[in-house]
């Protein structure tokens, strides 16, 4: 284990962060010029990865089976819409934070059953949040500003008087928010907060007898998870969909995020990004194969059915062979590489020389 340099971040983390930043801020914008990549892949990827981190916190770290991420996303998105509409002084960033907090309030409310129940019982309780929030937004006109068309156009993003409306600008907004929240999540997961979460996940009774308050830990996890989902939902609506409709946040999206979380790797932050990338890119790849190899001979509905079969099949395969998901696979590959070429690692090299002499 390396010593942390700043807060809980080690030197390796800072190098990783620098590499990621260079890649995402300098390399991607200079090499990718087609709008399609920003509007259809990078922006939704960042938003959904953020929501998946929220799901990770409650499911991967705290071990509570929840299935209502899309409901909290909807809460965040519509809170954002109303805040910008009704409290314009708050500004974009302020509204984003407050809409996250509003989603967190819902998270606390619907997280309360987790104190009593677990497993599938909790899943049903969180389903209530999913259906209730969507229904509430749909039925009370106030949330939609009495718009009867059902689809509301999202307001333009304005930060400090500057409009952020081009795909590239929106990408940077998503990138900034995601980076900050990801770093925060990593810090929380490694600090005492995260240790409490994991203690509750691994054995709640043991954790409680060691003085970890179950009430505090679980409610905190649900609140933070819902905060992440809320912010992700607001970004999802404002940067990706550019419109607000409750149907966009239905149960299917919740399942999608659940899949991203599980396939990516439970209890890992980078797993959230890997899982989100996989679930988003795989259909694109499959469509490309359908169009280019079979020249559209396969019906689009069949392709989407095949995609579903593959996702489901992968879920089963991962549960059987690698319950920790793709992040763990990646870890294994790295490990194999290191044992195969120990000289690549300078530290190993010096230590092995030290042993010989």
Partner 1 sequence: MVDELLFFMEVLVGGLLAGTMYSLVALGFVLIFKASATFNFSQGAMVFFSVLAFCGFMQDFNIPFVLAFIMAALLMVVVGLCTERFVLRPLMNASEDTVLMATIGLGYVLEGLAQAAWGVEVRRLDLGIGDFPVPWIADNLKLFISALDITAGLVAAIMIIGLFLLFKYTKIGLGLRAVADDAGAASSIGIPLKHIMLLVWSAAGVVALVAGCMWGARAGVQFALVDLALKALPVLIIGGFSSIPGAIIGGLIIGAVEKVLEVYIGPFFGGAIEGWAPYVLAIFFLLYRPEGLFGEKIIRRV
Interaction of residue 342 with partner 1, rule CB under 8 A = no
Interaction of residue 164 with partner 1, rule CB under 8 A = no
Interaction of residue 117 with partner 1, rule CB under 8 A = yes
Which of the stretches 99-107, 117-125, 215-223, 288-296 binds partner 1 when contact is defined by CB under 8 A? 117-125
User: For residue 325, what are its two tokens?
Assistant: 């998901």
Interaction of residue 98 with partner 1, rule CB under 8 A = no
Which of the stretches 2-10, 138-146, 148-156, 190-198 binds partner 1 when contact is defined by CB under 8 A? 138-146
Q: How far is CA 50 from CA 10, 165, 203, 219, in A?
A: 22, 21, 27, 20
Q: How many angstroms separate the CA atoms of 188 and 195, rounded?
A: 9
Interaction of residue 316 with partner 1, rule CB under 8 A = yes
Among 41, 158, 251, 329, binds partner 1 (CB under 8 A): 251
The H or E element containing residue 108 is helix 91-111
Interaction of residue 296 with partner 1, rule CB under 8 A = no
Four-CA torsion 145, 146, 151, 157, nearest 10 degrees:
-20
Among 9, 37, 255, 282, binds partner 1 (CB under 8 A): 255
Interaction of residue 294 with partner 1, rule CB under 8 A = no
- Residue among 22 and 247 whose Cβ is closer to partner 1: 247
- Residue among 63 and 76 whose Cβ is closer to partner 1: 63
Please state the closest distance from residue 276 (CB atom) to partner 1, in A: 17
52 three-class SS? helix
Whose CA is closest to 20, among 47, 2, 46? 46
Q: How many angstroms separate the CA atoms of 353 and 331, rounded?
A: 26
Q: How many angstroms separate the CA atoms of 272 and 264, rounded?
A: 6
Q: How many angstroms separate the CA atoms of 162 and 194, rounded?
A: 37
Interaction of residue 150 with partner 1, rule CB under 8 A = no
Whose CA is closest to 174, among 68, 254, 93? 93
Interaction of residue 289 with partner 1, rule CB under 8 A = no
Among 28, 101, 307, 331, binds partner 1 (CB under 8 A): 307
Interaction of residue 282 with partner 1, rule CB under 8 A = no
Interaction of residue 33 with partner 1, rule CB under 8 A = no
Strand pairing of 157-159 and 162-164?
Answer: antiparallel
Please state the closest distance from residue 230 (CB atom) to partner 1, in A: 19
Interaction of residue 210 with partner 1, rule CB under 8 A = no
Q: How far is CA 255 from CA 51, 72, 197, 268, 288, in A?
A: 12, 13, 23, 18, 24
Whose CA is closest to 271, among 209, 318, 204? 318
Per DSSP (E only), the strands in the chain are 4-6, 9-10, 152-153, 157-159, 162-164, 243-244
Interaction of residue 75 with partner 1, rule CB under 8 A = no
Please state the closest distance from residue 130 (CB atom) to partner 1, in A: 8
Interaction of residue 305 with partner 1, rule CB under 8 A = yes
User: For residue 108, what are its two tokens?
Assistant: 């606390």
- Residue among 212 and 315 whose Cβ is closer to partner 1: 315
- Residue among 117 and 159 whose Cβ is closer to partner 1: 117
Q: Which residues bind partner 1 (CB under 8 A)?
A: 63, 65, 113, 116-117, 119-121, 123-125, 127-128, 131-132, 135, 138-140, 205-206, 251, 255, 258, 262, 301-302, 304-316, 319-320, 323
């Amino acid at each position: 284990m390396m010593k942390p340099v700043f807060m809980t971040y080690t030197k390796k983390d800072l190098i990783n962060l620098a590499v990621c930043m260079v890649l995402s801020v300098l390399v991607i914008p200079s090499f990718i010029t087609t709008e399609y990549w920003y509007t259809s892949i990078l922006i939704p990827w960042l938003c959904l990865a953020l929501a998946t981190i929220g799901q990770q916190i409650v499911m991967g770290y705290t071990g509570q089976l929840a299935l209502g991420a899309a409901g909290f996303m909807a809460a965040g998105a519509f809170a954002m819409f109303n805040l910008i509409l009704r409290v314009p002084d708050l500004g974009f960033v302020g509204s984003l934070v407050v809409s996250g907090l509003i989603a967190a309030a819902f998270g606390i409310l619907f997280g309360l059953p987790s104190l009593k129940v677990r497993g599938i019982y909790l899943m049903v309780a969180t389903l209530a949040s999913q259906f209730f929030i969507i229904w509430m937004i749909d039925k009370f006109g106030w949330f939609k500003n009495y718009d009867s068309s059902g689809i509301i156009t999202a307001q333009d993003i304005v930060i400090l008087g500057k409009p952020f409306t081009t795909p590239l600008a929106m990408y940077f907004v998503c990138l900034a928010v995601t980076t900050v929240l990801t770093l925060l999540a990593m810090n929380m997961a490694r600090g005492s907060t995260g240790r409490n979460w994991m203690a509750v996940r691994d054995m709640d009774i043991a954790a409680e007898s060691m003085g970890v308050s179950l009430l505090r830990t679980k409610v905190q996890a649900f609140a933070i998870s819902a905060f992440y989902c809320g912010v992700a939902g607001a970004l999802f609506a404002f940067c990706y969909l550019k419109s607000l409709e409750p149907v966009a946040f239905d149960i299917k999206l919740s399942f999608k995020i659940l899949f991203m979380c599980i396939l990516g790797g439970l209890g890992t932050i980078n797993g959230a990004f890997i899982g989100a990338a996989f679930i988003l890119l795989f259909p694109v790849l499959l469509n490309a194969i359908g169009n280019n190899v079979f020249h559209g001979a396969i019906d689009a509905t069949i392709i989407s059915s095949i995609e579903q079969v593959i996702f489901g099949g992968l879920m089963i395969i991962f549960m059987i062979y690698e319950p920790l998901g793709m992040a763990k696979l990646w870890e294994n590959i790295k490990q194999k590489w290191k044992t195969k070429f120990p000289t690549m690692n300078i530290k190993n090299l010096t230590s092995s020389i030290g042993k010989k002499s």
